[in-house]
Amino acid sequence: MNQASAAIGDPLSESPAVAREELEAVFADIQSHPLYDHELNGCLNCGICTATCPSAHYYDYSPREIVQLLWTENLEGIHDAMQEKIWACAQCYTCAARCPFGNSPGGLVMIMREAAIKHGMESAKEVLRPFSRVMLKVISTGNQLAPNMINAEHFPDWGPHISKVDAPLTVLRKAIPMPTLHTLETAWEVNLKTSLELYVIWEESGVLDQLETMDENLFDVITDIMEEKRDDYDDWLEDQEDEDGDDDD
């Protein structure tokens, strides 16, 4: 029964072994993902995925290894890869474009990342911490990125000037000849109604549950913001009805 652990277990490791039940539960979630069979057909061990993988150049990461671990159902190896390796993948999908068997190692990595989140793995939490600003932005507005997020403080390696013409950001944004881009808080102006529609998608597709598992604080902040937005929208709807009523008089 414990063949896998016997084969993979590291006798020198001091970290406590992960319970077999947990390993199985994680793998069960991976395997039952609706895309699992679509992304994994088998493996010829040819290495074309790793050959073309940008992350393999810089990290201890190999898409071929990921595919092999999954295909051979190496539960400990899978769990171990989920602690760090899966986050090295750059998601370019070159591996998927090349695989002669039609696998998508990049897609499998996403399935594993989703599972890491579902199981609230510490590794996932750590990885996501720098992402919280982006997450807040995209979930509450429907826009991933805002002009005022790009500044020398957050991106010191991009140079001292975000714009080569020196002027206040507000003015520079207004000087973009697309009216939808005269914004600071979102990359383009998103209609309130639109943000709320997206929020329904987050609620209904289980994304908010993912978020709650990962970062309860952020979850609370977002739900508060969205409640306010919903109130604002309801107020607007009421005003509309009033106006309609006025028109009828």
Partner 1 sequence: MDDNHNDQERFTGHGAEWRNAGLNEDQANAATSWVEAKVDRRAMMVNKERVEDVRDIMWQLEKDGEIIVHRVDEQHEPEMVKTLYGWDKKIPTNQLWHHKSCGQCGNIPGYPTSLLWLQNMLGTRYLDETDQTSCTAWNYHGSGIGNVVSLASVFLRNFHQAYVSAKAQGLPEGYYYPLVHCGTSFGNYKEMRGFLLHSAELREQVKKILAKLGRLVDGKLLIPEEIVHYSEWLHVSRQRIKEHQTIDSSNIRATVHPACHVYKMVPEDAIYDDAIMGGNRLAVTTALMQEMGAQVIDYSTWYDCCGFGFRHIISEREFTRSYAIDRKIRVAVEEARADVMIGHDTGCITTLDKNQWIGKAVGKGYELPVMADCQYAALMCGAHPYKIVQLHWHASPFENLMDKLGMDWRAAKQEFETYLGEVEAGRVETLYDPKNAITSGPGFNA
Partner 2 sequence: MSKPVLIVGGGPAGLSAAHALASVGQSVVMVEKEDRLGGAPILSGYAKLIPSGEWARDAIGSMVARVEQNALVEARLNCQVNEFSGAPGKFQAQLSDGSKIEAGATILTTGFTHFDSINKPEWGFGTYDDVVTTTQVEQMISTGGGVRCPSDGRKPERVAILLCVGSRDRQIGREWCSKVCCTVSANLAMEIREELPDCHVYIYYMDIRTYGLYEDLYYWKSQEEFRVKYIKARIAEVTSDGQRLIVKGEDTLVKRPITIPFDMVVHAIGMDPNVDNMKLGAIFDVDLESHGHIGRGSNYSALATTSRAGVFVAGAATGPETIDDSISQGQAAAMAALATLNQNIGAA
For position 44 contacting partner 2 by CB under 8 A, the verdict is yes
- Tally Cβ neighbours within 10 Å of residue 130: 9
Q: Which residue has the tokens 């020196």?
A: 166
25 lies in the binding site for partner 1 (CB under 8 A): no
**Near partner 2 by CB under 8 A, which window of 11-19, 99-107, 108-116, 147-155?**
99-107
Among 215, 203, 228, 191, which residue's Cα sits nearest to residue 136? 215
User: Which of partner 2, partner 1, none lies near 45, with the C-beta cut-off 5 to 8 A by kind?
Assistant: partner 2
Among 18, 43, 48, 146, interactor with partner 1 by CB under 8 A: 146
Ranges within 172-201 binding partner 1 (CB under 8 A): 172-182, 187-195, 197-198, 200-201
Residue 192, both tokens: 């309130």
CA-to-CA dists, residue 114 to 31, 36, 119, 179, angstroms: 12, 12, 9, 37
- Any contact of residue 52 with partner 2 (CB under 8 A)? yes
Provide the mask over 46-85, with x wherever binding to partner 1 is found by CB under 8 A and - wherever it is not.
Answer: ------x-xx-xxx--------------------------
Closest CA to 147 of 169, 174, 180: 169
Q: Are 112 and 86 in contact (CB under 8 A)?
A: yes
Residue 97 near partner 2 by CB under 8 A: yes
